[in-house]
Amino acid sequence: MMNNTRNTQLLPMKDQLVNFLQAIEYRFELLEDTNERTVIRSGISLSFGASDGFMVIHHNLKLVEFFAHSPVNIPENKRCEVAKFTAYVDSCTYIGNLQLNHQRGELRCKTYLRYSDEPVAQDIIRDNYFEGFNILERYMPGVMSIVYAGKDANAAIIELLGTVDPSNN
């Protein structure tokens, strides 16, 4: 007689994320662990500085948010132009959303996944965790050219993508 029941042990999402971080040998810190949410902090060194990463599990929503925070704070007089730049970046990315907090000048990238009572593939966790950092690494040179070189969002994108702007001839 064939048994159709599955013999898999479901690990809570927190344990799946901790196992992922341990498997890649990353340091992490559990900042909050309640019935409503769990927050895990880690980070990565990028070419422009150390970037904090957060995994936020919203247990009731069965949702995990992955955040990668830029170490660069955007000055108030550059936030509007950086916001234009992030809007363009968001139109080019498949996974991840580059966000600017206009009040504090914080720049971060966010990805997320929904989960069910099935285990989440480690590849999915890895892709969501690292994509935020990859987006910061890829697009921060454009942000830096706006903040420190005085370029506008359009010029920063053109320069970043290596596109020739005929109006500069």
Question: What pLDDT, in 10s, does the model give residues 92-125?
Answer: 888 889 999 999 999 999 999 999 989 999 999 9
Q: What is the pLDDT along the chain (169 residues), one digit of tens a residue?
A: 444 444 446 899 999 999 999 999 999 999 999 999 999 999 999 988 899 999 999 999 999 999 999 999 999 999 999 999 999 998 888 888 999 999 999 999 999 999 998 999 999 999 999 999 999 999 999 999 999 999 999 999 998 888 766 665 5
> Crossing angle of helices 122-149/13-23, nearest 10°?
70
Residue ranges per domain, the chain?
13-168
- Per-residue model confidence (pLDDT) at position 123: 96
Choose among 126, 113, 108: nearest CA to 26: 126
pLDDT at position 147, please? 96
Rounded-to-integer distance, Cα 55 and Cα 120, Å: 15
Residue 21: what residue type?
Answer: L
Spatial CA neighbour of 107 closest among 128, 88, 89, 82: 82
CATH number for 13-168: choose from 3.30.1460.70, 3.40.228.10, 3.30.565.10, 3.40.50.150.
3.30.1460.70
User: CA-CA distance, 145 to 44, in Å (whole number)?
Assistant: 22
For residues 138-168, b (16+ Cβ closer than 10 Å) or e, as one string?
A: bbbebbebbbeeebebebbbbebeeeeeeee
